[in-house]
């Protein structure tokens, strides 16, 4: 379940306000609980990508994939597009094979135990 601040976090990220985006994502997580986990992972991947930390971004995509599977929630079009953008940036940075490895590593992380 997304909260209102989720979209605002991505707007802040597009404006270069990564710390504000992090704060908004944390607020959504606090208000929405475990069902927000897949979205928090996408947001964290987007922030990591904006920071240039493409390995972490790829791992967070793995966390998001796992969290979506565990919650039974579906990825909507906007989030799918964001994940594709993050994936493309990571692949451009270090290649498809490493992206696959990093994503697979992230999919092993327990979404509820990831320190955001």
pLDDT at residue 86, as a whole number: 98
- Other Cβ atoms closer than 10 A to 87: 19
Sign of the alpha-carbon torsion through 102, 94, 81, 41:
positive
The pTM of the full predicted model, rounded to 2 decimals, is 0.91
Using 50 as the pLDDT threshold, list the residues of the chain that sit under it.
none
Under 8 Å between Cβ of 18 and 94 = no
What lies within 8 Å, CB to CB, of 67 at 6+ separation is 37, 38, 41, 111
pLDDT at residue 115, as a whole number: 64
- Separation of alpha carbons 46 and 86, rounded Å: 6
- Separation of alpha carbons 39 and 63, rounded Å: 10
pLDDT at residue 112, as a whole number: 75
């Amino acid at each position: 379940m997304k909260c209102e601040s989720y979209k605002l976090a991505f707007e802040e990220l597009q404006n270069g306000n990564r710390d504000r985006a992090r704060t908004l994502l944390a607020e959504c997580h606090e208000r929405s609980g475990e069902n927000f986990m897949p979205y928090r992972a996408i947001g964290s991947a987007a922030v990591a990508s904006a920071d240039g930390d493409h390995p972490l971004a790829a791992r967070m995509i793995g966390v998001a994939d796992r969290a979506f599977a565990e919650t039974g929630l579906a990825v909507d079009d906007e989030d799918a597009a964001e994940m594709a953008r993050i994936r493309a940036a990571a692949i451009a940075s270090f290649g498809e094979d490493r992206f696959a490895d990093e994503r697979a590593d992230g999919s092993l992380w327990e979404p509820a135990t990831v320190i955001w």
